[in-house]
Structure 1
Amino acid sequence: MASERAPRRRSLVRIVLASAVVMGGTGVGTAYVKAQAQAHADVGRVTSAAAAPVAAGASEETSVKPVVNPTVAADPTVAPDTLLSDAMRPVTAAAEDGAEVSVAVFDVASGDSAAYGDGAFDTASIVKVDILATLLLQAQDEGRSLTAQEKRYATSMIEVSDNASASALWTAIGRAEGLAAANKRFGLTDTEGGSGMLWGLTQTTAADQLTLLQQVFAENGASGDSGEASELNEASRTYLQGLMGSIAEDQDWGVSAAGAASTADRRFALKNGWLPRTATGLWDVNSIGRVTTADGREFLVAVVSKGNTTKAKGISLVESAARAAVSVFAVDSGTADQS
């Protein structure tokens, strides 16, 4: 179920412009714990590696009417970015005032990709995929497997989004410096790790998250039709894919909404992230992963958003953007798949 990574389509205009997000520094110890809790609910208080996981947004409403995307003509003469921009019009029109969203998609079958949106976004918990990918890459370099404790942390971090486990592994990889070194090899150019222990405030773009997914879901070491190899070996990719395919049931939302609707056909692997910002009271809601449509087509999709008034509205925006992205390439008889 792994997929191939295509070379970056430099000829397509990637509408993802990095913007600086300036945050104040945070100390460690008691000051860190207070700042961490205030900064966002998704990155929980961490006083030890065994701290309890945080269920951010548990009290938020969970039912929001999704945006139904119109059929998008599959015109091979039009650049995918343009098609995606057209598909996103009803999504952005229905979004709340001030809410921003960016999405990037990779069609495994054709090797084409498209991106929409601009600016940098907080990762929240989607950075946990990057943290584990970094740990696995470092272990490869050291010629070793993950320890039993590292595997326990990794499982909790990805499957149930445990923040204490993420903090333990963030420290293990060397925090932002370690993440940056791995991301340089992965090909991420617009991702900057959070200050100190604030890994959830790592800044990224949808395009960079798509690049990371291409590293994780590359097939047999090849990242695309160029034959460029993933930095992660087969064992590392299989391990990370397996965890992303075993997320907790209550976290089955986000990019999975763009896949097959029927239970029998549902196949996806993902990681979601969510956090409310204390200064504004607004939510960051993100989702990245691989989805399979009802006709068996596979897509890698990354959606990041900010400025949502509730977690539920952010989820609705992210899911609508994911459906729009897949509609550009999931074509059946000349019209976009609406699953």
Structure 2
Amino acid sequence: MTADGEPKSLSEITRDMGLNMSDVAAFSGLDESTIFRLWDNTGWLDRVSGRSLQSLMSSVPGIAEYSMAHAIRKRRDVLVNDLHGEGLTVDMSVLERSDVPQQHLLNALEAALHIVRGEATQKTSSFIARFWGREQDRALSAVYSPDPENGLLADPRPLFESSIDLAPRLNRKTYSFHSILALNILTHQVSKVTGAPETDLGFEVPGRQSAFMMRGVVMGSLIGSNDIELAERYRRELDSTPVYAALEEWSFPTYTRDGRISSDFTLPSSLSLRNTATEVLREIAEYNDAYVYYLVSTYIPLALQRDPAFGGKLTELIRAVESRGADCRDKRIRQTCNTLVRQLKGIA
């Protein structure tokens, strides 16, 4: 695709390089008759075979780049039109300037389409569950964001409403790992935007499902509301409820891919939290005080039990906690940061 979205024929792509039909055939090893059939056809990518396309991509500059741009633009246009039909308008300027890979953003838009259509199927649960991960989460957050500068949708409110409606219907009586992840992801995104746990999402399901869903609500609410008391209540809940502590310990390493996403919510006995450490350091610097309090009072002490070296970043962690603690107005947060720093210096 060109910058304005118009398709290009094979002859147009190669013209600026001074390559003619015979040149392309010779370099790619394809029959000239094959190149002839594709040469002036702007829809040639839909006609070329996979093997022939590989030969062209590996021998003619610009073909690989054009092929990827074509595939992305084609999928994008379909999703934008389908979402428009459901009452959601995609902000194309945000989509085009985002630093999140376009493929992740298109996946997130497809998830939004499943949600706004109310498709309460196992396929939908499985698709949404794939957004458990740092880059995927960034893409989905952009879809839910009401920020006019960074939100992919001009008005995401119908998506919030559809998510609240869909979440209980994704809940199944039988154990489904993908449903558990999908519920967590939906509740996290909605509560992050609303800033408070949604009563409509507060249905009761025993065991891991309700615990993991509640973690999604709490994390989103902390980010959205800066509620320190909520962080403290969550800490106390972890102290008294083993399933919460187990899920909390599992969440960060799998989200950052330090550990494998496992349906039994277990981690290997030996695990270096390298990616987790990088993510936690970023969050200490960027997130609000309530979320930082959750990190220093709840997650980091738990992580140190799993990996006392904290992914080889103890020194950076000490500096980050010291610096952030000094900037916090809340006395409880400052004291918790100071206590953690003393503990970390004893390890380092």
Give the TM interval when normalised to the shorter protein: under 0.3
Larger RCO (alpha carbons 8 Å, 6+ apart): 1
Larger Rg computed on CA atoms: 2
Larger fraction in helix:
2
Larger fraction in strand:
1
